[in-house]
Amino acid sequence: EIVLTQSPGTLSLSPGERATLSCRASQSTSSSYLAWYQQKPGQAPRLLIYGASNRATGIPDRFSGSGSGTHFTLTISRLEPEDFAVYYCQQYDSSSYTFGQGTKLEIK
């Protein structure tokens, strides 16, 4: 099973700043199989990025994804107040799916 490790656990930033979230896989995974989600309290996860770098429908272009192999990054170019939430990376391997433990993005 591929284990995803996200860092940092908590990121404290101010609106307008740039956020960089990391997701590392325990072994190489295809970029096609890496996705990012945003989750706000009491809500279901929302797909942001699929295939490591493709924005899902309706996702603002301040969200971008990159990476390959074992290291993937989610970047939010200029934080808006509604972006403060928990972010998860997810991968698919051999008909199974795993998630990272999440990065909490909080207002500084």
Q: What is the contact surface with other proteins in residues (CB under 8 A)?
A: 1, 32-33, 35, 37, 43-47, 50-51, 56-57, 88, 90, 92, 95-102
Nearer to other proteins, 54 or 77 (CB): 54
Nearer to other proteins, 14 or 96 (CB): 96
Nearest approach in angstroms of CB 14 to other proteins is: 25
Closest CA to 11 of 85, 80, 101, 61: 85
Nearest approach in angstroms of CB 25 to other proteins is: 14
